[in-house]
Every structure is written in structure tokens, then in C-alpha cells.
Amino acid sequence: MKESLYAAADIGATGIKMAAAVYDGRKLRIVDTYSEPNLPKVKDGHEFADIGHMLKTIRDGLGWLGENGRFVSLGIDTYGNGYGILDAAGKLIQEPYHYRDRRIDGIMGQVHRCFTDWQLYEQMGNYPVKTRALFHLYRDVLDCSPNIMRGERFLPLSSLLEYLITGQASIERTIASVLYLLEQDGRQWNYEVFRKLSIPEKLFGPLSEPGRPNGSITRSFAAGAGIEGVPVISVAGHDTESALMAAPGLDKTKVFVSLGTSFIFGARVKAPVVNRESFHDRFKNMRGVGGTYSLCKDFPGFWILERCMEQWRKQVPRLDYEAVCAAAEKVRDNRTFIDISDDRFRVSGDNLPETIREYCLETGQKCVEGIGDTSRCLFESYALYLKWNIRRLSRITGETYRELVAVNGGVRNRLLMQMFADAAGIPVVAGSPLASVGGNLLMQLYAAGEAKTLWELEQIASATWEPVVYESSHLSRWDEWLEYLEHRGLGMYRT
């Protein structure tokens, strides 16, 4: 008898991970995985999200994962930027630009004719960052794009993929909350901002809660793969919120970090936090499952490392993460740090090692060269930035944080996890490297009636994924380095 399988597709900005799992009444067991790269498609000097590749990977992955089972349902979560717009006939008007495409260079200056950054923050509870969907939409407006001239329905990336698979259009709330398009409390679209920026209000349909069915796989998508009719569940469409569903034991004494192409750092809060301090430190409010909120911020994570590795592979074709970590571990005397939040590290560039070198020259620091020195500089810069943000978040919320919960792929980097623990001065609890997939699967269990409350989902998560704990060595050098950066007023370390 074939096993009943829950299938999850986690669409990251640089990679796609899929998994099939069975549920035994107490915990999930992942029986197989499938993965593919997910790089932007370059055309006419611009970068686009490769929707065709994403759909093909989902179809091929389901074919692979379903060889020895029967699918109960499929859930899709994606990175928190990107969208498509449908015309009156329900056709995708144009392939979506990748959120890091350079077309949004200079867009904030245009937006500032209508709003200051603080006014936007008051309206939306999110710090304005140019890669957000709102600013891509405003670029569409300024360019008189077909998206604006012919558009009838806006769909975030996870909702767009569901639509192209099922033919059913629905917008899940958690993915909408991170696109910089909702009101401060995440309950409704911010039509006031849309009107002032001339973004058509008609594009934005009703919002739905995660954990609800959204049609089933159509014959045209299945293309003979034996997956027609499989129900599709709108899970927590934003990959970070999906990951937090599988994070071990979040409460008010813990901060979290999701480690992927971007790093998402923050803490659960009872209600949106919007004040001058949270604005100054660039925090955003994210609406989660069950009306939860997180005060968090995202910054370039392994995006920087991956772009560096693209260059290094020109000399070392088979370079992998293990080799990079091994090279970084051999370096003991790094004294160069970059401001991870600097805008130059958020968008696509031709040569990231050279960008880092230019940054070092601009800031009067020793230039790092080569795989070991550059990766060590990156890892320690990640850890220092995390340490600084824990302090700032504690100041904003008034909470004393005693533990850092880390999830997703970066938890495999033991060197980085120990750096986080030593820099932060608190234990790091490393959860699942497939946390976004895990949260996706949990929401499917909720939709199937296997769990009826968030607490029950937490119990399933605890039974399924056993964390690894990294104790802090409380090394004083991290305090000294942070004091040095604050004294110099380097980037975000200005106090």
C-alpha cells in the first residue's frame, strides 16, 4: 500500500527545496527531498524571476517524490518579494522582474516626492527598502508598464504559482504582509498609499488566511505526470513565517534568525511596534499565522556569499560551502568588517568580491582577498551585525533575550553558529535546516484537521525536529570589535 504523502515546495531566491513527508499521528517523517537551483533569468540587461523553471521544478519534483506514495496535498512557500499581474483574461502579462534587478536604482528618490521614509513607516509599519514590491510597482507606474496599463489582478509570488498550478487566484496574508503593501496591522491593503503613488486599487483582491484549500492541480499543469487533482493548500506563503512555524519553542525571551539568501532576524511581539527607535533601526512588523506578529528585519545573508562563490568558481570550479567554511576556519586574525545592511549588498552586481574590496577602501580598512579571508570577514560581519541588532531590539521591546533560535539552511554552518553564540553571549538553538519546508508541511496538517491549534502544531514540530545547542563562550573580543565599529560610526553602527 502506498504511503500518504504531504508535499512541500519551498521557493528560495537562489534555490528550490521540495520534500515529501508522512505523518504518524505524532510527528512528521520526511521520506525524500528534491532540489534545484533557482537563479534569475537574464534578458536585455535585466534580471527576471524564472517562473517557467519554478513550475517545471515543482512538476518534476512531485514526479520524483511521488513514485512510492499518494499525495494528500501540496503547499508552496516563497521568498518574500516578487509578484505577477494578470490581465482581464487571467493571463500573466509579463514575466516578473527579479526583486534585486537594478531597475529600482533611484526609485526611493522618486517616492520621496510623495512620502518621507518616516511617513511610509507610520503608514505600513515596515522600514522602506527599495527591493520591496511597493517600489517595483511604483517603477511600473513611472514606466507606464503593461502591468499598470492592462493589469487586473496582483498576485504575490507564492499566490501566482498556486494560480498557475490550480487556476484559482487567492492572496495569502503572510506573504502580502512582507511586500510593503498592507496597513500597519497587516489586516488590509494600504489604499491611501496606493492612491498617492497612482497604483491602481483594483489590482488588489481579498486577503485569505493560511491553512485553506486553494483548488487542485490542473490537467494542463500535470502534463501526464500523474499528479492531476492533488489538492493545493495555501500555507504561510512567506518562507520566513513558514520557518517560524517549525522553530523550536519561540517565546518572548527568545530571538530568532532564519538563515537563507537573506537573513531574517527578530522576535515575536504582541502587536505592531512603530516608533522612532524601531524606525531608526530599520525594523519591520510582519503579520504571521493566527494573528501573530514579529518585529524583525532582513538583511543580505548568503546572497553575498553565493555571489562571491560565483566569482571564486571561475578559478575553483568545484568549490562548495564545506570548502569555503574550512578556508574561513583557518583564518584567525581578521580585523575587517562590512556593514551587512549597506544597500550595495542588496542588489545584483557583477563582482561581489570586488564590491567588498571597494567597501574596505572607502571605510579605511584592510582589504580582504581570497576565499578564506573574504568568507571569514563575511561570517564575523554577520555575527557582529546580529549582536548589534539583539541589543537594539532589546532596547526597543524592553525584553532581555536569553536564547537565539536559528533555522533554515545556515544552521548547517557550525562555524557560523558558534560565532553567533559567542558574539551574542547567549546559547544558539539550531533547529531544522529545512524549517520553511517544515512549516509548510505543518500548515497542511492543520488544513487536513490533524491539528486544530497553533499549540498542537508546536507539539508536532517539537516531536519532529531535535535542535542542536551551541553554548556561548562569552569571548570579550566581540564586545571590543563592536565598540570599535560603533566608535567609528561605520554604517548602521552609528549610535
CATH class belonging to 249-430+465-494: alpha beta
pLDDT tens profile 443-471:
999 999 999 999 999 999 999 999 999 99
Tell me if domain 3-239 and domain 249-430+465-494 are identical in fold. yes
Backbone region of residue 297 per phi and psi (left: phi > 0; alpha: psi in -120 to 50; beta: other values)? beta
Model confidence band, residue 494 (pLDDT cutoffs 50, 70, 90): low
pLDDT tens profile 245-260:
999 889 999 999 999 9
Q: How many residues does the chain have?
A: 495
Model confidence band, residue 1 (pLDDT cutoffs 50, 70, 90): low
What residue ranges in 25-142 does DSSP mark as E strands? 28-37, 41-43, 46-48, 69-78, 83-86
Confirm if 49 and 82 have CB atoms less than 8 A apart. Answer: yes
Q: What is the model's pLDDT at position 489?
A: 74
pTM, entire model: 0.93
Residue 495 scores a pLDDT above 60: no
Question: Which residue ranges make up each domain of the chain?
Answer: 3-239, 249-430+465-494
Q: Which residue has the cell 502506498?
A: 2
Task: Name the DSSP class of 243.
Answer: H
Report the percent of the chain where pLDDT is more than 90: 88
Query: Element (H or E) spanning 262, and its range?
Result: strand 262-269
CATH class belonging to 3-239: alpha beta
| Cross-strand pairs, 254 | 403
Task: Name the DSSP class of 97.
Answer: B
